[in-house]
Amino acid sequence: MQNSEAMALSAALLAVAGELTRRIHDGVVARGFEGVRPAHGFAFARLAPDGATVTELAAHLGVTKQAASQLVDEMVRKGYVERRPHPEDARARLIMLTERGWACARAAEEAAVEAVRPWTELLGEREVRTLQGQLLRIAPHGPVRPSW
């Protein structure tokens, strides 16, 4: 692959990722979840289903523990998460989604369906499934991080 081709592919993937993030966020806000930011969604992805410590969340988001702690404080104030005693570590607190947090996560899933629907209309379901499979081969397990 030539340099210009690699740059074009990189630019296309980044554009799609940015547009997808924006459309999901807009869909969440349209469903009544005010005061959320895309960073909340990236945190929700790590907190569901079993919660996480601030340290684990920081590693997932690629930020410092202090930044993750500030994000958790904000999400607690907004009612999306709560701190609970950690069942295995008395020194740690487990950050868990509240019912409001789960409802917001479900709204994000619905918004994601709407966001990728035009892809199916443009490419067809078979090609979209192929694209999904190819992308999963490239990035099978990596945390989904915001681009700060």
Mean pLDDT per 10-residue segment, the chain (148 residues) = 90 92 95 91 89 93 94 96 91 94 95 95 96 87 59
The residue to which tokens 């915001």 are assigned: 146
CA distance 88 to 51: 13
Token reading at 11: 């630019």
34 backbone dihedrals φ, ψ, rounded to 5°:
-80, 155
Sketch the domain layout of the chain as residue ranges.
20-112
| Residue 62: strand, helix, or coil | coil
- Decide if domain 20-112 falls under CATH 1.10.10.10: yes
pTM: 0.84
Are the C-beta atoms of residues 35 and 20 closer than 8 Å to each other?
no
Q: What is the pLDDT of residue 73?
A: 97
CA distance 68 to 60: 10
Q: What is the pLDDT of residue 148?
A: 45
Q: What is the pLDDT of residue 1?
A: 77
CA distance 19 to 130: 20
Angle at 94 between CA 89 and CA 95, to 5 degrees: 165
Q: At what angle do helices 3-30 and 99-123 cross, to 10 degrees?
A: 130
